[in-house]
Amino acid sequence: MRKPLLILMMLGFAFFAKAQTTVDPKKDTTIYTTPDVPAEYPGGMDALYKFIAENLVYPQSAKTSNVQGKVYVGFVIEKKGNLSGVKVVRGLTKDVNAEAVRVIKDAPRWAPAKQGANAVRQEFMVPISFNIKEDATAEVFEPVDESAEYPGGMEAFLTYITKKLNYPKQARLDRVNGKVQLSFVVEKNGIVSNVKILKSLTPETDAEAIRLIKGSKEWKPAKIRGNPARQKFTQAITFSPPEE
């Protein structure tokens, strides 16, 4: 008389187990390493390595110390193609590791992986090479074939500076009047770096001038023989006491 009860219990357990293993594709957070269809960078892996080569900025500290080798960066390609969890799996130095992570984070969205017909998360790792001999394009150029350009041109850049300049309180009290001369580099990815004071005015105005340059939009990078190149600029920012 116990067999029917035992059979019912077994069937109930089987149904419960099946219910427990059924996963809603939208809620599936599994990270796959070998999905049915792997995630793909736009244009394929050759395009990814080209993007890295064109956008990688070799840290000056690493070049000075002759740091060379590969940084292995791991990350997860999410269901929408964006990247998460970008981290160094095996690295070199702090500056080089940070640059490797930055360039991967700046990459365009991928086509996500698929398991069956559903988009899934995939784990990925990319080696990024830092080789001083191959880094000739990291040289900073002043004469270039095509100059770097701020969105809207230099007039728009000067308008940005005028509108966003905050006259420091101490400079206002001291009636500071003059110019801060700066230099900066527009990198191969259009980001402004290496902002330096060439001619100082006061600590407060210098800091404001640096903030303005660093806060500018991404530029269209310079080009040499059709390839993105780093370009150095100088800029003067005028500080005049506001009219009372």
* pLDDT averaged over every residue in the chain: 83
Query: Are the C-beta atoms of 195 and 211 separated by less than 8 Å?
Result: no
Say whether pLDDT at 187 is over 70. yes
Residue-wise pLDDT tens digits, 32-49: 988 999 999 998 888 888
CA end-to-end distance (rounded Å), the chain: 101
Residue 192, phi-psi category: left (phi > 0), alpha (psi -120 to 50), beta (remainder): beta
pLDDT of residue 4: 52
Token digits of residue 85: 């969890």
If one compares 49 and 243, the residue with the highest pLDDT of the two is 49
Instruction: Note the pLDDT of residue 11.
Output: 43
Domains of the chain from N-terminus onward = 28-137 (3.30.2420.10), 139-239 (3.30.2420.10)
CA distance 86 to 100: 10
Full-model pTM: 0.48
pLDDT over 90 percentage in the chain: 50
> Which residues are 166's β-sheet partners?
none
What is the Cα–Cα distance from 223 to 227, expressed in whole angstroms? 5
- C-alpha 140/C-alpha 220 separation (Å) is 16
